[in-house]
Structure 1
């Protein structure tokens, strides 16, 4: 029998530690404190899901308010205690969680979380671009070992960047915490080039401040003292994730991204990190992300499967109306 108990994120962290499971940073109290600083978001707490008398999974959730309704988000949750679940267990857990969320908080329209197998309870996400594959680099063993584990083209491009790229790369977390302005200027240029609107500068600055240097680092590449590329990296329990990255257009031919990423791998390894997640590549599940693959996949021989985000309706009628409205908006945009 599957049972669901609401608890605190701190209790979630303790339960995972008891079972020897490392939580993604998005499932930790640290992340919840950061989310509490963002408008229209609030930590909702955690859930312990048991199958009989044994904990099957845990998940921490954030309440999102948007367009007048609420939904819950659990990044990389549920976290399974015994590895990837089969379809029967996962489906049973999702059903039990949806029912308990509805009982506890009738405002919630749906739950967005990581789901391995598409099923009767799940729907494609209403917004955002989920992914089911990522690249995780082993950053143990020192600089030469990191390089040796790359694909041949990865080693070639990194070596070329070390010979020819004039940039110097360093951990600039302290500088970025004082002022994020020069880094943000690079993101604005990246957005103009690649066709997206960056979040306000305060979002990046507040993320760095809220997570703190123990859980967030900023690396940058400079040429003649000017920032030409940077990345923002989260850290938790020996695992790092490359959350954001930006590069100036005039630096694109310098191989600066290869040099910077390799410098990040080496420095993170020295800081005690063992695995560096580049956060999502394209696949048949997420074809719009395939443009990322050429760069990211050269840094390791392996591609790592992850549970992609899916929506789990809690108030089915309301959720169906949201999906219908989204389809209508899409048709109107295409008809312009």
Structure 2
């Protein structure tokens, strides 16, 4: 019988293991993410682990410990990173070893959240938050320069980028390093976006803390303004080892009408390509698991002919009784919120629906 074990990793060992197989390292699985975890209330780094099979490393992951309302859980965002093929059998064997280890090491944790490519009966839909298992990834390394990158896009994407580029009222730029006061006017765009598209947002301090903690090497801010300096749209991009991700975005109605988001994506992609970043993940489109992302599909898919299937996030209970209790409590809360919304709609004579109170992957 094979010997399966979870072992702690020393600093730098996770990065070395991924580099050894030529893999890409998401920033959330890098040591750069620790500073963000340490700066945010209610979360902290929870260690880096490797899964060994007969002494040979198969997968590695970094964990964050988060404290919710009355419970604690662990989050391996964009982990584990596989050093060998992630077959259904390998994923299940890994989870068996991991849960056995974490039940002993993390007695307060109700569940661990991680990514898996294959559905299985030990995987549960997320207690909170939303996930995605389809995305659009721009291959920056597979195109020689900005011209060939543009040529690789769909016809509609090329048309919209060129049209926005000809608009002299649109001024793209990078504003990495902006302070909290400067971010305030950008946050107003996020509030407008959240109201328009019906999703929840965090306090402004979460976004500025993220940028400050990651630093300019790993956390970037790009903005398109009009000629008078008013912001029309912006995006936060995280940069890991060869992999950039379009993490957060906001736009005004005027910006959308002028095509500012098209110019923003193009400016970010061209800048990252020039810096040697290999791939740019636009972070999620709709699927059976992520119907809420239907609204962004048309926008993101015009920048690439390919849709990429990726492992989605799942909850794996560590304390099954506690996890069932949390699931029931959250379901009751959602029913109550929906009932209040329906009652308000009847009083006002209009339609009302519950707005999402989560962000993808949080």
Task: Establish whether TM, by shorter chain, passes 0.5.
Answer: yes
- Structure 1 range deviating more: 269-278 or 72-81: 269-278
Match in the other structure for 1:166: 169
1:279 aligns to what SS in structure 2?
Answer: coil
Structure 2: stretches of 5+ with no match in the other structure:
341-362
CA distance in 2, matches of 1:302, 1:322: 38
What's the CA shift for 1:63? 0.5
What's the CA shift for 1:194? 2.3
CA distance in 2, matches of 1:97, 1:8: 18
- The alignment of Structure 1 onto Structure 2 pairs a total of residues equal to 335
Is 1:215 the counterpart of 2:218? The answer is yes
Q: Aligned runs of 1:1-336 on 2, under 5 Å? A: 1=2, 2-8=4-10, 10-83=12-85, 85-140=86-141, 141-164=144-167, 166-175=169-178, 179-223=182-226, 224-336=228-340
What's the CA shift for 1:9? 5.4
1:34 aligns to what SS in structure 2?
Answer: helix
Once the two structures are superposed, what CA deviation does each residue of 1:276-317 show, in whole Å capped at 9, x if it has no partner?
Answer: 110111012211211110000110111111110100011111
Residues 303, 172 of structure 1: alpha-carbon distance in 2 compared, 3 angstrom cutoff: same
Alpha carbons 1:34, 1:211 under 8 Å: kept: yes
Residues 145, 101 of structure 1: alpha-carbon distance in 2 compared, 3 angstrom cutoff: same
Residues 325, 175 of structure 1: alpha-carbon distance in 2 compared, 3 angstrom cutoff: closer
Structure 1: stretches of 5+ with no match in the other structure:
none
Alpha carbons 2:24, 2:242 under 8 Å: kept: no
2:288 aligns to what SS in structure 1?
Answer: coil
Alpha carbons 1:193, 1:249 under 8 Å: kept: no
Alpha carbon RMSD of aligned pairs, Å? Answer: 1.6
What's the CA shift for 1:149? 0.4
CA distance in 2, matches of 1:198, 1:143: 33
What's the CA shift for 1:328? 2.1
Residues 53, 326 of structure 1: alpha-carbon distance in 2 compared, 3 angstrom cutoff: same
What's the CA shift for 1:163? 2.4
- Structure 1 range deviating more: 5-14 or 133-142: 5-14
What's the CA shift for 1:157? 1.3
Once the two structures are superposed, what CA deviation does each residue of 1:68-109 show, in whole Å capped at 9, x if it has no partner?
Answer: 2111000011110124x1111111111110110001121111
What's the CA shift for 1:8? 4.3
CA distance in 2, matches of 1:63, 1:209: 20
CA distance in 2, matches of 1:197, 1:87: 34
CA distance in 2, matches of 1:186, 1:95: 44
